[in-house]
Amino acid sequence: MQITYERVHELFKYDGKVLIRNVAVSQGTKKGDVAGYIRSNGYRYIKVDYKTYIAQRLVWLFHYGYLPENDIDHINRKRADNRIKNLREVSPSCNLRNCGNYSNSYSGVKGVNLRKNSKTWKVRIGVAGKNYILGSVKDFDEAVLLRLAAEQCLNWESCDTNSPARQYAIKNNLFNPPCL
């Protein structure tokens, strides 16, 4: 049986950041404890009635009265930050777009990679499971703007408000977006 709005309100209160237990559910937990635990993947998990839920879904249920069919995305990319203003319901593809750079990223911008043999920046973007090569350029700033233009053409700004390409372009005055 899936958890209900009534059950989540019976078990928890929300302090603006995390769910707090209203009742003790075992010897290891007591009323007033922060609910759940953070796994090595950075997400908080909460066990309710022998079923484990990812915390952001319970926070969503607590506020909006339903468990979403789609993904819950952390806008600021901080997996344990379950403030309701940091959560949004998005499609799985949109959720994937709002991931940060890989830890081994040389350029610091998704989709912009240095080709060491030719000393050019290869620019690509993934759409619907396919990678598209946008081109190779010698200038890094040009490569970032090429990636950003592709993101804008695909309306990724609605998903990836923290786009590394956008952040780099703003920081280095490569363009002045109208919303800033």
pLDDT (tens digit, 9 = 90+) per residue, 40-94?
Answer: 999 999 999 899 999 999 999 999 999 999 999 998 889 999 999 999 998 877 7
CATH-assigned architecture of domain 5-90: Alpha-Beta Complex (3.90)
| CATH 3.30.730, the chain: domain bounds | 99-171
Model pLDDT for residues 100-129, shown as the tens digit of each residue: 667 777 788 888 999 989 999 999 988 777
For CA atoms 82, 46, 23, 6, the dihedral sign is positive
Structural tokens at position 157 = 């700004």
Output phi, psi for 165, to 5 deg. -65, -45
Collapse the DSSP code of 92 into the 3-class scheme (helix H, G, I; strand E, B; otherwise coil) and give the result. helix
Q: What is the pLDDT confidence band of residue 97, given thresholds at 50, 70 and 90?
A: confident
So what's the pLDDT on residue 180? 43
| CATH 3.90.75.20, the chain: domain bounds | 5-90
| Closest to 169 (Cα-Cα) out of 137, 146, 138, 135 | 146
Residue 98 has pLDDT above 80, yes or no: no
So what's the pLDDT on residue 106? 79
Q: What is the pLDDT confidence band of residue 159, given thresholds at 50, 70 and 90?
A: low
So what's the pLDDT on residue 146? 92
Fold of 99-171: GCC-box Binding Domain (3.30.730)
So what's the pLDDT on residue 55? 96
So what's the pLDDT on residue 169? 84
